[in-house]
Amino acid sequence: MQFHKNKEKVLIIDFGSQVTKLIARRIRELGVYSEVITPKALNKLSNFKNIKGLIFSGGPSTVTISKFQTVPKEIFKKKIPILGICYGLQLIAKLFGGKIKPSKKTREFGRAILIKKNTSLLTKNYLNTSKLVWMSHEDAVIKLPKNFKTVASTKNSKLTIIENTKNKIYGVQFHPEVTHTDNGKQIFKNFLFLICKIKQKWSPASQEKRLIEEIKNKVKDNKVICALSGGVDSSVAALLINKAIKKNLICIMVDTGLMRKNEFQHTYKIFKKKYKLNVKLIKASNLFFSKLKNISNPEKKRKIIGNLFIKIFEKESKKYSNVKYLAQGTLYPDIIESRSSTGSKTSKIKSHHNVGGLPKKMNLNLIEPLKEFFKDEVRILGRSLGLVKNINFKHPFPGPGLGIRIVGSITSERVRILQEADYIYIRELIKSGLYDKIWQAYAALLPIKTVGVMGDSRTYENICLLRAVTSEDGMTADYFSFPKNFMDNISNKIINNVKGINRVVYDITSKPPSTIELE
């Protein structure tokens, strides 16, 4: 399914790579609208009028088996420029008579260095400066397909960039969409502007008017209900819907008691007073704490919090008549991931809870105004809607909140201790100008106590763990390298100001093997 049939765009055919969505993001970052579709959807496509370029993504499958995932051969006759990435390159090579082999000698994982063989429009202003690329392939093209030429090789693999300029078909074995590839953006720039000759027309902020009109036309005089968490997605969705239907939007904020210090009240006030939204605050922390008493299993905690949230939300929403729609802050990556090209589901690591996963049995129609946008695009929309910076650029925060950052059982006292430590940590990050360089940062409490000495007395108190990661989309992450003076400072500040903590540790694991949250 495509969102905008009449908009000029680049279509990305998803062969199941974990990073397909990054291709779409990179292209949109360059001011060109792009959408991701499955190979099946491409098969059914009949109107190619507004398709200015096609990109075949990478993927886990292989073209060395008899039934491989493919594209209709007629696609190559439509004179639409094509770029194949990883599996996409191998598919092109296969369909044009090249040879592909799985081989220990040619496989490459991680970094590789490009060696220039020929000039090409695709590598203009690229190969002379940037040669470090990121690889993830077992199969490799070992015989050039007919009418193709080699643009670059690596030590292990001879055919790393290939092209057929007559038909405007290009292929790269590496992943220009990931940040580990040096200046991969230039490859996309060249493909879009030199090869597809497409114009820069896309900007998320310019979509505001259209989105508001669409909401108005869809909702008419009915009511929309929305769970507002104060995170970026639900906040932008609420502001947008409010602009369209005003008082017919009912926002419900459930205070679980598991939010950051002062945050919930602060957010409530902003939406009520500054934006004048119709918002109701439900104070439910006692209920949450009582149901979570003595529960330390992470999955149990997540289920209790998620189910309680839904129950409260359902109960509240029944108090309003004429509600026909439920608003959710679903984003484009959720849509891409929910229609996997292979139909396979990745194994479940944690049961996620967020306000976006609200009850299906409520029998309400969904309204998802952000479903065509990436998170950074939502922030651009947020800015144009006047969303305050401290909400618009806030780090992601999990639905179960501090509940999954207190390892072991949750008590109101442990929540208080953690809120204080986390407050100091985040405040110091903002003060030192580091907050915006970090994708997500938080403090957590570990379930053990250790001995310390303060003044002349022995203490036996909690350990506070600090986490800060850089990431692109939360799927993978690296720990953030703090300057030494920040580290020296923060441990002191937390211990001196928070009674109940006598040791601070910093988490230096990446994801994988760890996850970002502790539970």
Report the residue from 31, 359, 396, 500 that binds ligand XMP according to the rule CB under 6 A: 396
Our finding on whether 353 is near ligand XMP (CB under 6 A) is yes
Q: Which stretch binds ligand XMP (CB under 6 A): 154-162, 326-334, 347-355, 499-507?
A: 347-355
Instruction: Considering the complex, state which of residue 233 and residue 420 has its C-beta at the smaller distance from ligand XMP.
Output: 233
Alpha-carbon distance of 19 to 261, in angstroms, equals 35
Report the residue from 13, 114, 237, 516 that binds ligand XMP according to the rule CB under 6 A: 516
- Chain centroid, CA 464 distance in Å: 27
Q: Which stretch binds ligand XMP (CB under 6 A): 195-203, 242-250, 346-354, 405-413?
A: 346-354
Catalytic choice (35, 86, 226, 372): 86
Our finding on whether 399 is near ligand XMP (CB under 6 A) is yes
Instruction: Considering the complex, state which of residue 50 and residue 514 has its C-beta at the smaller distance from ligand XMP.
Output: 514
Radius of gyration of the chain (CA): 26
Active site residue 177: yes
Cα 190 to Cα 27, 83, 184: the distances in Å are 11, 11, 10
- Size of site (CB under 6 A) for ligand XMP: 14
What is the footprint of ligand XMP within residues 456-485 (CB under 6 A)?
A: 474
Q: Which stretch binds ligand XMP (CB under 6 A): 67-75, 235-243, 352-360, 492-500?
A: 352-360
415-350-230 Cα angle (round to 5): 50
What is the footprint of ligand XMP within residues 107-166 (CB under 6 A)?
A: none
Our finding on whether 440 is near ligand XMP (CB under 6 A) is yes
Alpha-carbon distance of 84 to 22, in angstroms, equals 14
Q: Is 279 within 8 Å of 253 (Cβ atoms)?
A: yes
Our finding on whether 406 is near ligand XMP (CB under 6 A) is no
Q: Is 96 within 8 Å of 145 (Cβ atoms)?
A: yes
**Residue 261 carries which DSSP code?**
T
Q: Is 210 exposed, middle or buried (0-12, 13-18, 19+ CB in 10 A)?
A: exposed
Look at strands 169-172 and 223-227 and give their pairing.
unpaired
Active site residue 180: no
Least CB distance from residue 305 to ligand XMP, whole Å?
Answer: 8
Q: Which stretch binds ligand XMP (CB under 6 A): 11-19, 132-140, 144-152, 392-400?
A: 392-400
- Of residues 262, 313, 319, the one with CA closest to residue 287: 313
Alpha-carbon distance of 234 to 228, in angstroms, equals 6
- Residue whose pair of structure tokens reads 């589901």 in the numeric block: 345
- Three-state DSSP class for 75? helix
Least CB distance from residue 349 to ligand XMP, whole Å?
Answer: 6
Sign of the torsion formed by the C-alpha atoms of 296, 298, 299 and 301:
positive
Q: In what order do the strands lie in the sheet with 223-227?
A: 279-283, 249-255, 223-227, 323-327, 365-367
Active site residue 461: no
Instruction: Considering the complex, state which of residue 214 and residue 507 has its C-beta at the smaller distance from ligand XMP.
Output: 507
Beta bridge pairs of residue 141: 100
Give residue number: closest CB to ligand XMP: 354
Tokens matching residue 177: 């969409």
Least CB distance from residue 474 to ligand XMP, whole Å?
Answer: 4
Q: Which stretch binds ligand XMP (CB under 6 A): 148-156, 220-228, 289-297, 349-357?
A: 349-357
Instruction: Considering the complex, state which of residue 41 and residue 295 has its C-beta at the smaller distance from ligand XMP.
Output: 295
Least CB distance from residue 260 to ligand XMP, whole Å?
Answer: 13
Catalytic choice (35, 137, 175, 377): 175
Our finding on whether 400 is near ligand XMP (CB under 6 A) is yes
Q: Is 512 within 8 Å of 519 (Cβ atoms)?
A: no
- Three-state DSSP class for 126? coil
Q: Which amino acid is at 488?
A: D
Least CB distance from residue 453 to ligand XMP, whole Å?
Answer: 34
Our finding on whether 354 is near ligand XMP (CB under 6 A) is yes
Catalytic residue numbers read 86, 175, 177
Name the site residues for ligand XMP (rule: CB under 6 A): 350, 352-354, 396, 398-400, 440, 474, 511, 515-517
